[in-house]
Amino acid sequence: MTNPVPVTIIGGFLGSGKTTLVNHLLRHANGVRLAVLVNDFGDLPIDADLIEGQDGDVINLSGGCVCCSYGDDLSLSLQTLQEQASLPDHIFIEASGVALPGAIGKSLSLLRAYRLEGIVVLADATTVQSMAAEKYVGDTIQRQLDDADLIVLNKLDLVCDEQAQSNRVWLDGCFPHTPYIDSVHSTVNADVFFDIKRKMTNCKPSAHSHTQDTLQVDHASSLFTSLSVSVDHMVDAKWLASQLADKRNMLVRAKGFVLDTDNQIKTIQVVGRRWSVTPAPIGVQAGLVCIAQAESLSEENIRSLCKPDAQQII
Amino acid sequence: MTTIYAARKIITMNPARPAVTHVAVRDGRILGAGSLDELTGFGEYTLDEQFADKVLMPGMVEGHCHAVEGKWWRYVYCGFHDRMDPHGKVWSGLSSIEEVISRLQENEATLQDPTAALTGWAIDPIYYADKKITREQLDRVSTTRPVGIMHASGHIMNVNSKALELADYLRAGIEHDGVPLGDDGLPTGELKGPDVMFPVGRQAGFDDNMLEFDEPGLIDFARLCVRTGVTTATDLAAKLDDEMVEMGIRVTARDDFPVRIMSLRFHHGVTPAELIEHAKALRSRSTDQFRLGKIKIIADGSIQGFSARIRWPGYFNGAPNGLWYIAPEQMLAIYEMALKEDLQVHTHTNGDEATDLVLDTLQVALKKHPNANHRFTIQHGQLINAAQYRRMASLNMCVNHFANHHFYWGDEHYNITVGPERAERMNACRTALDNGIPLAIHSDAPVTPLSPLFTAWCAVTRQTNSGRTQGEHEKITIDEALYAITLGAAYTLNMDDEIGSIEAGKLADFAVLEDDPTSVSAQALKDVKVWGTVQSGRVFAASEI
């Protein structure tokens, strides 16, 4: 059985920027073979030069990416996809505007070919607070945000600083455990979503060294910083993963291999507040990469979490 | 070529001459209804006396059902109540889970291919003290072939171990509210909600288009229509791709096809603009027997599935509010474009909050595109209250209530979902009529059986399965109920100029009955026997269909 394909669910109400984000990801796949599942092709502005061909509900894009319209049967689309010869590297599901992304996430547990990587929900900074109080859809929007592992506070270019700050205070109050990141035009760096594997192979952590570099960004959206930390000592992997997923770190994601207390190497994965610990592939080197919005990353916090005696101190 | 039919009585629904003895038919249409003397004025005719001892009424109009029922009869019937199949066989209701298993076992014994799926439908555990059915029970039917049973509600399915295994569900580690686990950590075989039902359903013999009719199924559905006096039936939610449309037009055009089908394009899976374009294209392809060009929106879920959007104080048992199946912005976009293009929209609401959204949205859309004859219809509208009917009247809306629901799930609504007060005013036909709302009533077949006379009985008696009268105040009269299943339903389909009454100029659509439904007791209304139908002047005897 091949490794399950990571799936990221993109939720958010109508107009929050889901479609723009999907399009952005397709343009910045950088060699990752993406499959994007959308409710319908209606407003999806895929550049014509990206399209290699269309076969009914599937649009083939350059670089091995595909975009599928699932209409009213997502489970059938996922099943069709898993029966294909070559599975994509990563799947994004764009939930419909009134769908609850958590329910989609649960249905993924029914398909062995897939693994829920995380639920990212967009919030429109210009409307989210008033919409969350709206008579008909207010509770739907709150339930969508409640399902999020990571919230993308989008359209920040359209609000003043006070309103942006008011949104953050509101998110902190309503969703105290969910990290959020800033965004403009849904341009979130693709590395925020894709597997950190490529970064892992590039970094060669030596004992007690830390590297930090800034990821490239395309637009005036916020900068993301990645931090590589070596964790050579034995550590309670679940404890570390849960700590990394704590909102105070505001991590967008983290991935790493650590020696667990049972003397086995484990893979730690974090997307926002979601974390998992699974047996690591054979031959990996211990180490951890964390990604956060540049101004939110507290290197000090992460470092102290990764110290040998951290669990006793914190 | 004129035929004059003589009958014991002809109920016309024409208030000017409500009952006559003869009706003259030419080219599939009604020349006139009256006495033989009056009708001879049209010239040469043949007198047909085959209905001399029958009662004719306008062909019944089922304003909310799904033609897929014909296809479902290829599965094994597992319901609690007796039910007639397309060939007229009445399948006895099953009074225990053991009886369900026995029927499946009997059917299993007739199958040759040891791996073929065995599929059942219409089971309803609320009649079995709400006992859960397990995969182990269905394993007694077979361990080699997948076995699945769809519940009557359409929201839950039970399967055996083999079906779970084929769908790769028979393993530890599944975490889903819709897949309850047993003590062994493995799924029990109960599957709740479409997300989890469909992947397994495919293994258990349900095809991917569980709501779409196919050719033999459409023909079987038409047989049921003849047996129940229906001459026009809706197919209320379809995707209507080119292949389906071509097949629908071809099959319904046959000389021996006895019912007019109106198929509505379902909103899901396309954008509002695409939906409108498709509906316009479909409208231009509409034929006499296969009517197209209307739109169906589903606004919320179901009350018994706790997925309906209901207003404060919410569900009686404290369940959280249900789900929206469309965003308000999308509903507004569809309403506005549909009003502009003269496309009629039928909107499913179950909860009263969903009805509020429809009213608010239509009120806004009508300001932009005033359209006095829009006839937008709320389908089900089970919890509409008096104030909402008053608003519906001011907005010129119609309603098609789910009268059969009282009988099948009324007790559950009373005890669990919405509590006594609201259960008593569910499907409030009386209040709708008192507010001047054009009213139809429906079966939602295959959810409940197709039979407008039974539906009329439900609206007249408001009797639940346990025998209680639920909502005395909301009863309507037999005459009102018969109107609702003919002209009332025709009005909601914007076809009242063509069908729904027996009068000059209309299509020659009749239900041929053995008894007079206006002279039987309310209790006996559902037992009035249907001989068959006349549709566009063609005679269809149930015994020969």
Percentage helix, strand, coil for chain B under 3-state DSSP, each rounded to 5: 35, 20, 45
Q: Which CATH number fits domain A196-313: 3.30.1220, 3.40.50, 1.10.3470, 2.60.40?
A: 3.30.1220
Pick the range with the lowest mean pLDDT from A211-220, B26-35, B188-197, B225-234: A211-220
The nearest CA of chain B is from the CA of A165 a distance in Å of 28
Per CB-CB distance under 8 Å, the chain B contacts of A70 are 269
- Total residues found in chain A within this entry: 314
Cβ distance A109 to B173 less than 8 Å, yes or no, reads yes
pLDDT at residue A4 above 80? yes
Nearest to A75 among B198, B268, B271 (CB): B198
Q: Where are the domains of chain A?
A: 5-190, 196-313
* Residue B472, amino acid: E
Tell me how far apart the alpha carbons of residues A149 and A162 are, in angstroms, rounded to a whole number. Answer: 25
CA-atom Rg of chain A in angstroms = 19
Whether B274 has its CB under 8 Å from any CB of chain A: the answer is: yes
**Does residue B341 sit in the same domain as residue B456?**
yes
Of chain B residues 95-114, which have a CB less than 8 A from chain A? Answer: none
Tell me how far apart the alpha carbons of residues A139 and A122 are, in angstroms, rounded to a whole number. Answer: 16
3-state secondary structure B36-76: HHHHHHHCCCEEECCCCCCEEEECEEECCCCCCHHHHCCCE
pLDDT by residue (tens digit) across B160-201?
A: 999 999 999 999 888 888 899 999 999 999 998 888 888 888
Tell me how far apart the alpha carbons of residues B149 and B118 are, in angstroms, rounded to a whole number. Answer: 9
Substitution target from B202, B240, B329 for chain A, most A beta carbons within 10 A: B329
Cβ distance B269 to A98 less than 8 Å, yes or no, reads no
pLDDT at residue A293 above 50? yes
The domain in which residue B444 lies consists of 215-535
Whether B356 has its CB under 8 Å from any CB of chain A: the answer is: yes
**Does residue B317 sit in the same domain as residue B432?**
yes
Pick the range with the lowest mean pLDDT from A250-264, B198-212, B494-508: B198-212
Beta bridge partners of B149: B120, B158
> With contact defined as beta carbons under 8 Å apart, do A190 and A277 qualify?
no
CATH number, domain with residue B188: 3.10.310.70
Tell me how far apart the alpha carbons of residues B378 and B391 are, in angstroms, rounded to a whole number. Answer: 13
Substitution target from A57, A81, A107 for chain B, most B beta carbons within 10 A: A107
Q: In what order do the strands lie in the sheet with B377-380?
A: B60-62, B230-238, B260-266, B290-298, B345-349, B377-380, B398-401, B439-441
pLDDT at residue A211 above 80? no
Beta strand A265-271 pairing with A251-259: antiparallel
Higher pLDDT, B72 or A209: B72
The nearest CA of chain B is from the CA of A126 a distance in Å of 17
Tell me how far apart the alpha carbons of residues A194 and A89 are, in angstroms, rounded to a whole number. Answer: 9
**Tally of domains in chain B:** 2
Q: What is the pLDDT of residue A186?
A: 84
Structural domain ending residue among the three candidates B137, B169, B201: B201
**Does residue B194 sit in the same domain as residue B144?**
yes
Nearest to A106 among B176, B324, B328 (CB): B176
Tell me how far apart the alpha carbons of residues B528 and B517 are, in angstroms, rounded to a whole number. Answer: 7
Cβ distance A76 to B173 less than 8 Å, yes or no, reads no
Whether B68 has its CB under 8 Å from any CB of chain A: the answer is: no
pLDDT at residue A142 above 80? yes
Q: Is the dihedral of CA A74, B75, B164, B112 positive or negative?
A: negative
Nearest to A43 among B271, B309, B329 (CB): B271
Substitution target from A57, A72, A124 for chain B, most B beta carbons within 10 A: A72
Whether B241 has its CB under 8 Å from any CB of chain A: the answer is: no
Nearest to B357 among A75, A110, A136 (CB): A136
Q: Residue A44: closest CA among chain B residues belongs to which residue?
A: B271
pLDDT band at A217 (very low <50, low <70, confident <90, very high): very low
CATH number of A5-190: 3.40.50.300
**Does residue B131 sit in the same domain as residue B177?**
yes
**Does residue B194 sit in the same domain as residue B220?**
no
The nearest CA of chain B is from the CA of A3 a distance in Å of 16
Sequence-distant (≥ 6) Cβ neighbours of residue B15 within 8 angstroms: none
Q: Which two structure tokens, joined as six digits, stand for B372?
A: 């006095």
Per CB-CB distance under 8 Å, the chain A contacts of B328 are 136-137
**Does residue B175 sit in the same domain as residue B228?**
no
Of chain B residues 282-321, which have a CB less than 8 A from chain A? Answer: 309, 321
Tell me how far apart the alpha carbons of residues A208 and A205 are, in angstroms, rounded to a whole number. Answer: 8
CA-atom Rg of chain B in angstroms = 23
| Average of per-residue pLDDT across B118-147 | 93
Residue B122 forms part of a structural domain: yes
Residue B344 forms part of a structural domain: yes
Q: What is the pLDDT of residue B303?
A: 94
Cβ distance A98 to B196 less than 8 Å, yes or no, reads no
**Does residue B262 sit in the same domain as residue B175?**
no
> With contact defined as beta carbons under 8 Å apart, do B485 and B456 qualify?
yes
Tell me how far apart the alpha carbons of residues B17 and B10 are, in angstroms, rounded to a whole number. Answer: 10
Choose among B409, B345, B407, B405: nearest CA to B378.
B345
Q: What is the pLDDT of residue A219?
A: 42
Q: Residue B273: closest CA among chain A residues belongs to which residue?
A: A42
pLDDT band at A105 (very low <50, low <70, confident <90, very high): very high
Cβ atoms within 10 Å, residue A117: 26
Q: What is the pLDDT of residue A202?
A: 43
Tell me how far apart the alpha carbons of residues A100 and A123 are, in angstroms, rounded to a whole number. Answer: 14
Q: Residue A139: closest CA among chain B residues belongs to which residue?
A: B321
CATH number, domain with residue B350: 3.20.20.140
| Average of per-residue pLDDT across A119-148 | 96
Q: Is the dihedral of CA B296, B301, B303, B304 positive or negative?
A: positive
Per CB-CB distance under 8 Å, the chain B contacts of A74 are 195
pLDDT by residue (tens digit) across B18-53?
A: 999 999 999 999 999 999 999 999 999 999 999 999
Choose among B447, B483, B504, B467: nearest CA to B123.
B447
Structural domain ending residue among the three candidates B201, B232, B255: B201
pLDDT band at A196 (very low <50, low <70, confident <90, very high): low
Cβ distance B199 to A79 less than 8 Å, yes or no, reads yes
pLDDT band at A204 (very low <50, low <70, confident <90, very high): very low
The SS3 assignment for B452 reads helix
| Average of per-residue pLDDT across B444-449 | 96
* Residue B154, amino acid: G
Task: Output the average pLDDT for chain B.
Answer: 96
Whether B256 has its CB under 8 Å from any CB of chain A: the answer is: no
| Average of per-residue pLDDT across B217-239 | 97
pLDDT at residue A269 above 70? yes
CA atoms within 13 A on the CB side of A91: 24
Q: What is the pLDDT of residue B345?
A: 98
Structural domain ending residue among the three candidates B144, B174, B201: B201
- Which DSSP symbol is given to B288? S
Per CB-CB distance under 8 Å, the chain A contacts of B179 are 110
Cβ distance B330 to A14 less than 8 Å, yes or no, reads yes
pLDDT at residue A124 above 60? yes
> With contact defined as beta carbons under 8 Å apart, do A123 and A22 qualify?
no
pLDDT by residue (tens digit) across B361-380?
A: 999 999 999 999 999 999 99
Tell me how far apart the alpha carbons of residues A239 and B199 are, in angstroms, rounded to a whole number. Answer: 36
Nearest to B324 among A42, A107, A137 (CB): A137
pLDDT at residue B124 above 60? yes
| Average of per-residue pLDDT across B52-60 | 98
Per CB-CB distance under 8 Å, the chain A contacts of B189 are none
Choose among B390, B380, B333: nearest CA to B359.
B390
Cβ distance B269 to A140 less than 8 Å, yes or no, reads no
pLDDT band at A222 (very low <50, low <70, confident <90, very high): low
Q: What is the pLDDT of residue A300?
A: 87
pLDDT band at A44 (very low <50, low <70, confident <90, very high): low
pLDDT band at A39 (very low <50, low <70, confident <90, very high): confident
> With contact defined as beta carbons under 8 Å apart, do B463 and B475 qualify?
no
> With contact defined as beta carbons under 8 Å apart, do B42 and B2 qualify?
yes
Cβ atoms within 10 Å, residue A87: 18
- According to DSSP H, which parts of B140-293 are helical? 161-166, 194-201, 215-228, 242-252, 272-285
Nearest to B269 among A72, A79, A104 (CB): A72
Cβ distance B323 to A111 less than 8 Å, yes or no, reads no
Cβ atoms within 10 Å, residue A104: 24
Distance of CA B369 to the CA centre of its chain: 30
> With contact defined as beta carbons under 8 Å apart, do A252 and A149 qualify?
no
Beta-carbon pairs below 8 A across chains A and B = 84
Cβ distance B327 to A98 less than 8 Å, yes or no, reads yes
Cβ atoms within 10 Å, residue B37: 8
pLDDT at residue B405 above 70? yes
pLDDT by residue (tens digit) across B312-342?
A: 999 999 999 999 999 999 999 999 999 999 9
pLDDT band at A35 (very low <50, low <70, confident <90, very high): very high
Residue B98 forms part of a structural domain: yes
Nearest to B169 among A71, A72, A110 (CB): A110
Pick the range with the lowest mean pLDDT from A39-43, A186-190, B121-125, B530-534: A39-43
Task: Output the average pLDDT for chain A.
Answer: 85
Structure-token match 């294909």, residue found: A84
Whether B195 has its CB under 8 Å from any CB of chain A: the answer is: yes
**Does residue B475 sit in the same domain as residue B407?**
yes
Structure-token match 């060009």, residue found: B293
- Counting beta carbons within 10 angstroms of the beta carbon of residue B202, is it exposed (0 to 12), middle (13 to 18) or buried (19 or more)? buried
Percent over 90 (pLDDT), chain B: 90
Pick the range with the lowest mean pLDDT from B33-37, B152-156, B353-357: B152-156
Sequence-distant (≥ 6) Cβ neighbours of residue B132 within 8 angstroms: B125, B180, B188, B190
Whether B175 has its CB under 8 Å from any CB of chain A: the answer is: yes
CA atoms within 13 A on the CB side of B233: 32
